[in-house]
Amino acid sequence: MGNMIIDGKQIAQHLKEEIREQVQQLATQNGRKPRLDVIIVGENPASKTYVRSKINATEFCGMDGELIALPKTTSQEELLRIIRDLNENEAVDGILVQLPLPKHIDEQEVIHAIAPEKDVDGFHPENVARLWLNQPAIVPCTPMGIMELLKQTHTPLAGRHAVVVGRSNIVGKPIAKLLLDENCTVTIAHSRTSDLAQICREADILVVAVGRSHLITGEMIKPGATVIDVGINRTEDGKLVGDVDFESASKVAGAITPVPGGVGPMTIAMLMRNTYQCYVSRISNE
């Protein structure tokens, strides 16, 4: 049995190169580049790293990336005012507010304030509803990145059993919907699922988005299954690991994503794609 390690880093790199070429063409035609504004509130170290790689990716793709770093004492009113200004700013194509936000700020209110057509994370209720109603939507980056990995590795989906572990709004729920759209039979498992191991063993495609290292081990995987590990956990010695015990799982799986270098880079590539697509729809309306 072939144990393929899915090289998300390389696939993401190719996608970003494609986007860069498309950006180059349209930017000269239209006299302006796509622009993404990323807002970060406070000093969460993981968030700062994510935000930095998002800005770096815009530069790689030939887009403008603006980092708006606000102190953790920023009031909700002030943040909402900044978002409204960006909504109205004709030069801005995409707006991303890095989560989590400090406790005194209501995340839902903030997401709701972003203009749906600039909501490159796809978290606005209008985009969520559109996704579930099969209408044109901006789709969240991580689930879209997972679908792109499955597509590029030619993983058969129709009629196969997909098990998604985790039911968050950011990953679990939207990836379940996208797999359903590809005619998978989808099971969503979560913290209250009884006999997680048995359910995982039935999966042809296993997507794990929990945030607990070593949650999934080799004996929970059907031989030959495709395993997508979304988790990002930091070990005591500072190493990044996923939710899947790579050592045991990679011996059983037919294909598996590593952490780092699997889903993470794809999330960023899909953010570039969403920003580019927001730009394209805005210039065609100008």
Interface residues toward ligand NAD, by CB under 6 A: 142, 165-168, 170-172, 189-191, 193, 196, 209-212, 215, 230-233, 263-264, 267
Among candidate residues 16, 33, 37, 54, the one labeled active-site is 54
- Catalytic residue status for 54: yes
Whichever of 9 and 212 has its CB closer to ligand NAD, that residue is 212
For the chain, the maximum distance between any two Cα atoms, rounded to a whole number of angstroms, is: 57
Among candidate residues 93, 98, 119, 229, the one labeled active-site is 98
Q: Would you call the peptide bond into 100 cis, given omega within 30 degrees of 0 as the criterion?
A: yes
Residue among 106, 113, 109 nearest 86 (CA): 113
- Catalytic residue status for 119: no
Whichever of 218 and 283 has its CB closer to ligand NAD, that residue is 218
Least distance in Å: CB of 258 to ligand NAD? 11
Give the separation between CA 262 and CA 282, rounded to whole angstroms: 31
Whichever of 65 and 172 has its CB closer to ligand NAD, that residue is 172
Residue type, 136: P
Least distance in Å: CB of 17 to ligand NAD? 20
Least distance in Å: CB of 77 to ligand NAD? 27
Whichever of 122 and 166 has its CB closer to ligand NAD, that residue is 166
Give the separation between CA 241 and CA 18, rounded to whole angstroms: 29
Q: Which residues contact 241 (CB under 8 A, 6 or more apart)?
A: 213, 214, 231, 233, 234, 235, 259
Least distance in Å: CB of 196 to ligand NAD? 6
Whichever of 184 and 244 has its CB closer to ligand NAD, that residue is 244
Q: Which residues contact 84 (CB under 8 A, 6 or more apart)?
A: 113
Q: For residue 194, what are its two tokens?
A: 């009884």
Among candidate residues 119, 121, 204, 243, the one labeled active-site is 121
Q: How many CA atoms lie within 13 A of 43 on its CB side?
A: 2
3-state secondary structure of 218: helix
Least distance in Å: CB of 155 to ligand NAD? 18
* Active-site residue list: 54, 98, 121
